[in-house]
Amino acid sequence: GTPLPVWICEQCQAERCVGSFAELGLGREIDPHKPFIDEVTLVCECGGVMRRVPEVIDCWYDSGAMPFAQWHYPFENQDRFQQEHPADYISEALDQTRGWFYTLLAESVMLFDQPAYRNVVVPSLVVDEKGRKMSKSRGNVVDPWELLAKTGADSLRWWFYTTVTVGQEYRISAQRVAETATKFLNVLWNTQSF
């Protein structure tokens, strides 16, 4: 996760939230990640030593900051950000609804009083032929290059186009792709060859 930029004085318990490298006074050479940032100490107004809190922000926070962080907003590109925000749509698989979609929405509403996107497109997941999520540890990953070599690009394209009902996952295997191709593409190719 991202280290919280908060330092607390060991002597008087004063807190300081740092907003930039410039505020740290260390230049851009420092690596702002753990464990390096934990070595940075600040001097409190009381003269005590300030150390960074140990907590980190969940990595989803960084993902949710994408709409404004990509423009380095609010430090630069204010006009560009205003033109681009909110996005017309975002697109990710269903498993992102509790992660990226949510943090985009929560951060944007909290900071700008509007969502980060107008529409959401959620394509189906590609799973193995039994409907299980593909996993290297399970050994059920379908290598797309091997599939293309066995069935051909046209067969795979046709399979994607014709076999999935909206809202359902794509159950894939070389056999399924080949069967779909045989039903239509072979007839088409044979007609053309005749």
Residue 63: strand, helix, or coil:
helix
Question: What pLDDT shows up at residue 186?
Answer: 77
pLDDT at 93: 82
What are the tens digits of pLDDT across the range 53-92?
A: 999 988 888 899 999 999 999 999 999 999 999 999 999 8
φ, ψ for residue 104, nearest 5 deg? -60, -50
Burial class (CB in 10 A: 0-12, 13-18, 19+), 104: buried
Could you list the pLDDT tens digit for every one of the 194 residues in the chain?
889 999 999 999 999 999 888 888 877 778 888 999 999 999 999 999 999 999 998 888 889 999 999 999 999 999 999 999 999 999 988 878 888 899 999 999 999 999 999 999 888 888 988 989 888 899 999 999 999 999 889 888 888 888 877 778 888 888 888 888 888 877 887 888 87
Cα 31–chain centre separation: 23
* C-alpha span between 159 and 149 (Å, rounded): 15
Q: Residue 126: its pLDDT value, please?
A: 86
19 by Cβ neighbours in 10 Å (0-12 / 13-18 / 19+) ranks as exposed
Give the span between the Cα atoms of 175 and 5, in whole angstroms: 53
Closest C-alpha among 132, 137, 121, 122 to residue 171: 132
Two structure tokens written together for 137: 């540890």
pLDDT 10s digits, 111-127: 999 999 999 988 888 89
- Look-up of token digits 């919280």: 4
